Amino acid sequence: MRMKKKLAAFLCMIMCVTSFAGCSAEELGYLSMVKEMSTAMEQSTTTGSMEMVLDFDVLKDFAKDVAKATDATAEDIEMMDYLFDGMDGKETIKLTYRTQQDMKKGAVTVELDAVYNDKAYDFGTIYMDTTNGYFITGAGAYGGIELYLDLMSGMYMDHSYIFSQEFKTELKAVLTSTEYIQLFSMADMGYPEDMLGQFMDDDMMMNLYDGAIDFYLNALSDFSTNAVTKVENGYSIELNGDDMADLVLRFLTYIAENPERILGALKDYMMEVGQVMALTEEELVEMGAELDMLAEEMQVFTDEVNQVVTDMKEVLATDAAGIVLDAISYKYTLLKEDKAYISDEIVAVTWNGQDVLRVTSRAKMQATKIRLFVPANYVSMNQVAANLEKLEDKYNPVRGAELYWFPADQSDTAYLSALRADFGLFSGYSQEYVSYEITEDGRLYLPLRAICDVLGEDVQWDNAAKIASVVTGGESVPMEGMIVDSRTYIKVRDFEKLGYTVEYLGDEYYKYVSIMN
């Protein structure tokens, strides 16, 4: 049942993402234009810009009005002042870019620059190749991090080591020591070497676009978004917040009323997509079986979608939702001028006649002759990550380790991560999965070596005595416990023998352990 719910939710999400596509003459014309733009240019260059303006003063008022509509307490409103501390006035970010793509070779380069508060940032050149992988210049990587740090500057994180000039200088040296960094290769993602040919085969890509249009014709023949308008040389899409909410509700209702048509058309299209993605025969069979299983219990699928509609209506009926929807507006145009395609997009959140947020973008795509080259001088992301971790250890050393798990999952697996003195710029979200053991009398045992590796402790094994020990402060401390699958597990409180403070909290639903120096 859980899988059916997840699949139903996933299908609803996919449908909503593509909800600008219905089967009116305007919508099909728009889809055909997108298909033409995407497939007609074997080699092309796109130039564009994007500007985002965020007014924190208006945002504070907007957020407080939304909070008041949810019956937030005075304390809640006061807390918002704390959250917005240091955020004042307008902030503007401008991006300019130039991309070149070769569909035959599956290669794309992106030259990206930014300006924030009159300061320029060079993101260098990003190279994406479906054979060789994704690359970014070392200088560009530092430019991105520098922008992030400047965005955070002035907020409650100002005290962090990441804002010190010494750290920034060493960080720049690490990232700019090589011309390019390979973020990942196709092999890293598990794709075979011949994937390029399957992705970039012109006929297959055309077939996918044709298949998408066939899907809309077969699945959505009686549905229209009422959002697409024919204009001179192209199409326009314009919606406000209420329009968006109504569109999503109508679309979900249509799905619930036409499940067989939707699922049948979706299965045909997803199987075609699966072949392009080079799924194995076993994976294709599994995907088809899941869709068939859903189709066999159509009522379950319909009930789940109807429940989503009911829940959304309850949320949208609230005063807070009304405030948010009244503030949102969206407009997009796609025009063909001579042999070029020009798109303009505006996303705005406006409150009491003032912009909270306004994002405007413009792009021009046209066919060009280009030559792209795979970066020759590069290092792997693993090499860079190792150097970044050393840098972080220097400025933000590990102070302990934490584990948490959910007993209801019955998986005997915990999430293990390092606890540092400060927010970890490069390791703040790194986790690993480890197993734990609970004896019949309820005692908790944790994996010694995995935790000591996080803590930086040296674990040694006496094969004769069959006992592990930890060398700390020049002293070897025996750590007796239980051995499971050649791994030593010790009682959670035994880490106190090494001078750590152990905290063990939780209930039947959630368990948490911290081991602090």
- Could you report the per-residue pLDDT of 71-95, keeping only the tens digit for each? 888 888 888 888 887 788 899 999 9
Does pLDDT of 192 surpass 60? no
Check if the beta carbon of residue 53 is closer than 8 Å to that of residue 358: yes
Question: What's the whole-number average pLDDT of the chain?
Answer: 85
What is the pLDDT, as a whole number, of residue 269? 81
- Could you report the per-residue pLDDT of 462-472, keeping only the tens digit for each? 999 899 999 98
Rounded Cα gap, residues 228 and 238, in angstroms? 7
What is the pLDDT, as a whole number, of residue 12? 43
Rounded Cα gap, residues 140 and 230, in angstroms? 40
Residue type, 7: L
Residue type, 69: A
| Token pair 């703040």: residue | 428
Prediction pTM value: 0.74
Does pLDDT of 103 surpass 80? no
What is the pLDDT, as a whole number, of residue 154? 62
Cα dihedral sign for 163, 169, 170, 174? positive
- Could you report the per-residue pLDDT of 458-494, keeping only the tens digit for each? 999 999 989 999 998 888 999 999 999 989 999 999 9
If one counts every other C-beta atom within 10 angstroms of the C-beta of residue 93, the result is 17
424-439 mean pLDDT? 78
Selection from 43, 47, 117, 110 nearest residue 361 by Cα: 47
What are the residue boundaries of the structural domains of the chain, listed by start?
396-516
What is the pLDDT, as a whole number, of residue 209? 64
Report the length, in residues, of the chain. 517
